[in-house]
Every structure is written in C-alpha cells, then in structure tokens.
Amino acid sequence: MHRNLSSSALIEEAVRRGEGVLSNQGAFVVRTGKYTGRSPYDKFTVLDADSEKNVWWGPINQKMQPEQAQKLYERISSYLENQDYFVQDCCVGNSDKHKLKIRVHSEFAWHSVFARNMFLNPGESELQDFTPDYNIYHVPGYKADPAVDGTRSEAGVVIDFGAKRIMICGTEYAGEVKKSVFTLMNYLLPPKGVMGMHCSANMAKNGETAVFFGLSGTGKTTLSADPERSLIGDDEHGWDEEGVFNFEGGCYAKGIRLSAKDEPEIFQTTQTFGTLLENIAIDPNTREINLDSDEHTENTRISYDISQIPNVCPEGKGGHPKHIVMLTCDAFGVLPPISKLTKDQVMYHFINGYTARVAGTERGVKEPSAVFSACFGAPFMPRPPSVYAKLLGEKIEKHKVQCWLVNTGWSGGPYGVGSRLKISWTRALLNTALSGEMENAEFIKEPFFDLMIPKEAAGVPEEILDPKRAWKDPAAYDEKAKELLKLFKDNYEGNVHLR
C-alpha cells in the first residue's frame, strides 16, 4: 500500500506501470476504456434505517441490501490484498464546521493523482492523526458479477451511509469518484441546514459572490473562470449560515474543442505537469495533444488543482450570493440568452432543471437532446428534490438574491438548424448582470415562459436577445416554443411530489 504519495511520485508510478503517457508539455494522458462517462444506472445506495426513510428512491437511487454490500466489500478487499494500491487522505468542504475527512483507496496510481487534484489536501500535521469519516474504494479491475454482486453490470457505484464507505468497481472513469463524494455531501448536509449545490461560484473584486447552477456542458466551468472575478470553485458547493464554500480543491473541465482564445485560463492547465487529461487524443510520436478530436469520446476531461487558475480565491469560500445564475443549454433554440427571474420562476426552473444532455456526458449519448434533471443535478441528489428546493427558496428570500436564467445553447433555430450562442456574448451579458447594470435596463416579457428579457445589452446584437427575432420564420419559432413549454409543464405537473 502506497500512502499519501505526492503527485510527482504518483505520476512516476503511473508511467512505470503503463497507466498512461506524458504529453510534450508534461500533462499525464490516460484512457478509461469503454467507460468514458458516468454510468448513472449502475449506482446503488445501501438500505438502512436512515436511508430507507430519507433517500429519494427510484431509477437514480437504487436499493442494495446491506448483506449484499458487505459481501461486495469483502470481495473488493480480497482483490486489493493481492496487489499494490494507493491511498490518499483528503478532505471535502472548505468549511471548519462542515469539512469531511475521506480516505481514497485506488487501484491505479493516476486515480490517486485525481484524488489529490480534486479534493483538499491536508497539511502534514493533520495527516499525522488523520482518521477518515468515510472510505472510498475505486477498483476498476474488479469486474462485478450481477448474479453474485447485485449490480446491473460489471460496473457498480455503491454508497453505504451506514458503513461509511463508497465502492466503485468495473469502471476507470475518474468522475465516478468525484460525483459519489458529491452525492455523499448532499446527503449529510441538508439536515444541518446547509444547501448542497451543483454549481460553480466566483467573486467580484468588491466581494460580491455569484453562483452558477447547471448540468455538465452548460458552461459552469468556462463561465466561472473569469479573469475579472476570483474563482471559488467550478462544480460543487455548499451554502451555510456564513455563505458559499467549495467542496473541492480542483476542477474537472470538459476538454473537447477547448479554445485558448475563449477559455485561456483552462487551456493553460493542459500544458502543465500534474494535470490529468482523460481520453484526449495524443500523437504517439510527438506527444502533442489534440483538444479538437473526439476520437475516444466527446466527454474528454481535464483534472487540475484549482491553484492553476490565475485568479482563484485561496480560501475557497465567499459570502452569501448576490446573484444566482441558472445555466441551460437549450437545444430547441427557444430560451433567450438571458432573462431575469422572479422567485416563483426560480423555483420552477430549479425543480425542472432543463438543459440538453450534451454528447459524451453519459455513455451512449451521441447528440444533444432535451432532458429535465431536478435541482440541475438529480443524479447527485440522494434526498427528494423538495428538500433542496425548500432550502434554496429560504436562502434566496432571506438574502434577497437576484436570479437569472442564461441560455448557452442554440439561437436562430434548434440544434441542427440554428447556431450555438457565442461565449463572448454570454460573458458580456453576465458581466452586465453581475455588475448590477442590467437591473435598471428596460425589459420586455416573452409570451410563452413569461421571462423578462432586456431590450439591449452592450456587446450583444439586439436581435439575439429576443430569441424569436433570431429565427427567420417567426411562426416556426412559436411552434417550437409551444413544444418546449408543453415539455416543461408536463414535467413539472408530473413531479408535483418533488416540490
């Protein structure tokens, strides 16, 4: 067992063991085999007295009996005893009150680097007397047998709150570790009055905090890495009585078609030793990477320590949000680039959690399609969505937060007809909104979702702001808007129990 090796030592081990290769700039490039994204239907929660009454049971949170989970743990432990493996002691949560200690057991050296990148690394003094609250076992080489292990396939993600452990087997995709720990935090914190959020967060120079909700592919990581604002974190946060705090110590950005021009802060991390590049194409001779290639998957990933972002908030926390931005990638081309939301509309969009499932975020997804995911992160919310919605509503009201809906998807027509909104336009709109300039703008109400749209904004064509004007055929827009509105209403009315 190799305990708490540095990233440099781990990468040396990973190279020696043939787990990946170094790029010509020093990043470590790995392949994850057939699992290039999460496997949400291979996820299980162990049944116990507490989880039975508090977990949102269903296709996302499937039940596993404790006896079955214990036997799986014993088989995984026996598997690890016969080989070298790696252990990292880490923490989750930049909060003195709500920090969780975890011990990550990894079969592969590079997965231990991932743990060091993504979670908080304790100091030497803390490591001397480190007792984990939870243990995480990531063992891709153990292929589950559904008939024996109670899984659906060779892959399994099993969260056992009673035994205080998470078991991940049969899949090399590192994101399963990150999201399982996120799920854990989202179960433990709400009873303490702390809101777990699938969001990024950053801070203005005057200290005002902004939160960006959104599923993978909507732009959370890209838009929160703003050179004019300090990055608190790119994906997972808590909101307690003091403000917003990052769960993590790193970022896990999408790499496909990453642009040095539009995303310079993230792009530079791909040129750095210690960064992990998952499933990114690389020339076998020159070792130059190709960020535009989807040779292995659309869901190429970049894992890096958050300190690599130049303008980062070192404390990993900020005050109560002044603004909340709900990001959606609308494949229908119906929703406006930005609109101001009332509190009721915030709750409506939070419960619906609409976006397009972008190619590559889950196995088998080849092109964008409409999807609704409660709380903008249903796969990571083990409690009923109403728990998180109630907390969010209370905090928005108490702290008088201004909320916005931002579409980073298509304009001028649906996917295949229209075009993706430019990042530069979205950044310009966000800068205007977060600075407070947009609050005094003149707004018009669109007729389908009753969204308030600014009539003009610096740096963005007026015809883009009103999505109907961006379509060549207004009647076609109306039909598509009615289609999307019906999907919203059907989803909301069908999920009355979530509210």
Residues annotated catalytic, as ranges: 38, 179, 198, 216, 220-221, 235, 301
Contact by Cβ (8 Å): 5, 112:
yes
Sign of CA dihedral 183, 240, 328, 236: negative
Residues present in the chain in total: 499
Q: Which residues have CB under 8 Å from 251's CB, separation 6+? A: 221, 233, 234, 235, 266, 269, 302, 303, 304, 306, 309
- Measured distance CA(455)–CA(462) in Å, rounded: 7
Rg, the chain, Cα only: 22
SS3 228: coil
Nearest Cα to 195, choosing from 348, 400, 396, 492? Answer: 396
How many CB atoms are located within 10 Å of the residue 226 CB? 19
Q: Which residues have CB under 8 Å from 189's CB, separation 6+? A: 98, 195, 196, 238
SS3 365: coil
